[in-house]
Amino acid sequence: MQQPRIWLVEDEQSIADTLVYPLQQEGFQVTVFGRGLPALEAAAHQAPDVAILDVGLPDISGFEL
């Protein structure tokens, strides 16, 4: 069975680090993006099962993403 994919879009590394470990321990494959636009570009090729978005990103609003 393939692990569910979660994309975490968060520009604060300490917050991302806090979330990644427990998600991985629960069996999720976590990909972290530090900005919104790279996540948007990646979504054109492959979508995650779930995305966790920071609404205050430096390049694009999490609401827009």
Asked whether the beta carbons of 33 and 7 are under 8 A apart, the reply is yes
pLDDT tens string 32-65: 999 999 999 999 999 999 999 999 999 999 999 9
pTM given for the model: 0.93
Asked whether the beta carbons of 54 and 10 are under 8 A apart, the reply is yes
pLDDT tens string 25-34: 999 999 999 9
Asked whether the beta carbons of 30 and 50 are under 8 A apart, the reply is no
Tell me: pLDDT of 1 over 90.
no
What is the reported pLDDT for 6? 99
What is the reported pLDDT for 45? 96
5-53 in CATH: which number? 3.40.50
* Separation between Cα atoms, residue 56 and residue 14, nearest integer Å: 15
Enter the tokens of residue 16.
């991302």
Residues in the chain: 65
Rounded mean pLDDT of 5-29? 98
* Separation between Cα atoms, residue 12 and residue 43, nearest integer Å: 21
Q: Where exactly are the structural domains of the chain?
A: 5-53
